[in-house]
Amino acid sequence: MGLIATSTATTKSNGHGEGRIKSYAPATGEVLGDVPIMTADEVRAAVGRARRAQESWAALPIEERCDRVRRYAQALIERQDEVADLLSRETGKPMMEALLHEVAPSVAVAEYFCKRGPEILAPREVPLGLMKHRRAFLHYVPRGVVGVITPWNYPLYMPLRDIGMAFIAGNAVVLKPSEVTPLIALKAKEVWDQAGLPADLFQVVTGGGATGGALIDAGIQMCIFTGGVATGRRVASACGERLIPCVMELGGKAPLIVCADADVERAARAAVFGGFSNGGQVCISVERVYAHRDVADQLTQRMTELTKELKVGDPQKGAVDVGAIIFPKQIDVAEAHIQDAVQKGATVLAGGKRITGQGQFFEPTLLGDCTHDMTVMNEEIFGPVVPIMRVDSDEEALRYANQINLGLNAYVFSKDRDYAHRLAERVQAGSVLVNDVLINGGMPEAPFGGVKDSGFGRVLGEDSLKELCQVKHINIDRFATSNDPLWFPYTDKGLALARKATKLVFGGGGLLKKLSQLF
């Protein structure tokens, strides 16, 4: 039983404001529950309640807000088994991934910013170069209500990553989770409410794309969108129309470059983990491997062995490496890529087809002999398919890596870390990991986001906490005499003085240079 078929069957006539959406377990087809498709009026009311709650929340000292967010993080950890279990059932992902790739990083991000938030958002004085008679202060003021719109592949971590930070910054949040995985979002909200935290500060509005569109139109002050490129364009333009600042976390096509001197065993294991973790339904999945000809055969052989060893199945029945395909359309996408690649000369080294029977499963698939005329090397897969292409040099790999219009994550494997660092500097991507994969997705200290069509803006990292605020500049004149030489009236004498002064201050070797050397 597929999610596409079932969700269209339940969204009734216009898909917005009528009917309910059912959530299915992709591993079994079992109905787990259903949620309402909320109307634009309901979404607007939720934003209104969030705004009122935000006013008193923003008035709390930041330390107090951090204490409360920490309480939420602790409630999540106390209920980790129940939360991870629902998450695993609603997505079909292994329990290890539910726990370590979603619950744990959600808590880690919250704890990190609870600790660092007060220091990052502390008001500060900016030293002024020329205008020594003035003082400039920066204050980080919450934006108001942040709309968070998320996809189905990490339906707990993606929202909680952004929500915890938004709260610490003093905002309220209205979350529009994916219609494919709404129940885990409601569980996150239930944990918030039951921890005794202000219910209206965190709202969840359920529904499909139209509900997301209604959220952007409901008076929010910022939007953090995570999803596909095509939807991202629509969301960014709707935000632009309303002058709402937005962060766009969109698709990826991460290249993994294996240099001639790489540790082949580590590269092979990393490529298999990075390609098949979460069934390849990761925006930073290893989506194309460029193997230097000196190591290509050895790498390919090892990756084939490792891929064949992967255990696939329903995580509820015991430990598996690869769970279900969350969104059934991805099975069609995988099949289309494989068919195109094989027609153009690729070899199926492992897997290659959907697994028939109960649930939505696809064999972890490794493709060898790939070339850049194949869709699998150029377009997002978002499923358990990893193509390998042999290259003659690292420069050739770099050229291919950079010729795609997506640039979220990239990976470089070499034993020479300095060389790999220099190569990483030339890869067009938001993040490049040397001798590792995926891990930065849950690294609160470092900014995460893409270049080119992978989006703009960043989540995580201290700058993104500041981005959740308006920076307000307060400037104070220390002396404030009854008039100012820069004000009216303008006179000829004043102009002559101004001419001399600009030369004195800005001319080569002038006062400005001397002042900047002094301060």
DSSP, res 103: I
Distances (CA, A) of 443 to 48, 126, 194, 462: 33, 29, 28, 12
Show contacts with ligand NAD in window 288-347 (CB under 6 A). none
Size of the site for ligand NAD (CB under 6 A): 28
- For residue 288, what are the contacts with CB-CB under 8 A and spacing of at least 6? 253, 254, 255, 256, 370, 376, 377, 386, 387, 389, 400
Contact segment (CB under 6 A) with ligand NAD among 9-17, 226-234, 385-393, 414-422 equals 226-234
- Measure the CA–CA gap between 204 and 160, rounded to whole angstroms: 12
Contact segment (CB under 6 A) with ligand NAD among 25-33, 51-59, 224-232, 345-353 equals 224-232
Residue showing the smallest CB distance to ligand NAD in the complex: 212
List 27, 121, 267, 283, residue binding ligand NAD (CB under 6 A): 283
- Measure the CA–CA gap between 307 and 121, rounded to whole angstroms: 46
Nearest distance from C-beta of residue 441 to ligand NAD, angstroms: 8
Our finding on whether 178 is near ligand NAD (CB under 6 A) is yes
Nearest distance from C-beta of residue 149 to ligand NAD, angstroms: 5
* Cα first-last separation, the chain: 69
Q: What are phi and psi of 137, to 5 degrees?
A: -120, 140
Our finding on whether 150 is near ligand NAD (CB under 6 A) is yes
Our finding on whether 250 is near ligand NAD (CB under 6 A) is yes
For ligand NAD, the closer of residues 212 and 315 by Cβ is 212
Peptide bond into 364 cis (omega under 30): no
- For residue 95, what are the contacts with CB-CB under 8 A and spacing of at least 6? 84, 85, 88, 315, 319
Nearest distance from C-beta of residue 278 to ligand NAD, angstroms: 10
Report yes or no: 168 and 113 within 8 Å, Cβ to Cβ.
yes
List 54, 88, 221, 226, residue binding ligand NAD (CB under 6 A): 226
In the shown chain, the binding pattern of residues 181 to 220 toward ligand NAD, with x for contact by CB under 6 A and - for none, equals ---------------------------xx--xx-------
What would the 3-class secondary structure string for 291-328 be? Answer: EEHHHHHHHHHHHHHHHHHCCECCHHHCCCCECCCCCC
Nearest distance from C-beta of residue 106 to ligand NAD, angstroms: 14
> Edge to edge, what strands does the sheet with 124-126 contain?
124-126, 134-142, 469-477
Which residue among 283, 379, 380, 467 is the active-site one?
A: 283
Q: Is 249 a catalytic residue?
A: yes
Our finding on whether 153 is near ligand NAD (CB under 6 A) is yes
Report yes or no: 399 and 68 within 8 Å, Cβ to Cβ.
no
Nearest distance from C-beta of residue 453 to ligand NAD, angstroms: 10
For ligand NAD, the closer of residues 191 and 326 by Cβ is 326
List 15, 155, 251, 280, residue binding ligand NAD (CB under 6 A): 251
Contact set with ligand NAD (CB under 6 A): 149-153, 176, 178-179, 208-209, 212-213, 226-228, 231, 234-235, 249-252, 283, 380, 382, 408, 450, 455
Q: Which residues are catalytic?
A: 249, 283
